[in-house]
Structure 1
Amino acid sequence: MFEHSLDFGGSEFNFIYGKTPTVSYASTNSNNPILMALSMAKEEEYMGLWLHPQKATLLNIKTGDDVTLENCQSGQKAGIKAFVTEMVRPDTVFMSSSFGTENPLLKNSAGRGTALNKIVPYAVEPMVSGFRSQEFTVRVTK
């Protein structure tokens, strides 16, 4: 099914991120109480690290397990809950960029999810000054 899948072996993966429907299609503010309530109804899916069942089985990871996500290039680490799903390739993990704020003034969203900046290093592409936010692999451990 995934003919062009890379096999890093073990616990290393490509890393991708995106937004959840509640934040992407309605408001980019995750502190909105109505949108946060909708997001919490799908907390595992919206705030978890998506991991394909094939690799999850090999790593003995189940939905809801606490895992550590480590940037293989910079060494940055972040804790996150696992969400096992076939909606991502076996060689890739996905997380939402919509959550993880630590600002206590954001009463509805503070402390929910994992912040993307915990795992993405500050790296600017020198030719076009774009942000290199996906040019690394990550390791997932339980």
Structure 2
Amino acid sequence: MKYSVATQGRVFVLRLEDGEIVHEVIEKFATDQKIEAASLIILGGADDGSKLVVGPKEDRGVPVEAMKTELTNVHEVTGTGTLFPDENGVPLLHMHLACGRENRTTTGCIREGVKVWQVMEVVIHELVGSSAKRVLEEPLGFKLLQP
């Protein structure tokens, strides 16, 4: 285990609007507000055609080849995430959503593009004083958190 220490800074409450792409809006907001690190919670609706990464194709295959899925119809969502800068200081959101419709749930990472259906609510808890960054790690091919 590796770790770093941070303290809580500002708390932001956002309402994402119909058609917005979740990670794009949040990362731009973080840049505009000079949020270097944060934890997030989110809930609302994901629109038809939203895309998720739903796991690796092989359990231990390297480099990792992602499985992707696209939502059909509107889904209710809830999720959590973290936001940390990459090596260049660009904020990168890592968020997973559980997306449900009727009696079926799909869970995955939003990096491929989750589109807001009507509204999503986001609470961002800024983390101040963190030295953590997302750094590209081979052979996995991911920008992983380095506390």
Normalising by structure 1, report the TM-score: 0.29
Q: Which has the higher strand share?
A: 2
Point out the structure with the larger helix share. Answer: 1
Higher relative contact order (CA 8 A, sep 6+): 2
TM-score (norm 2): 0.28
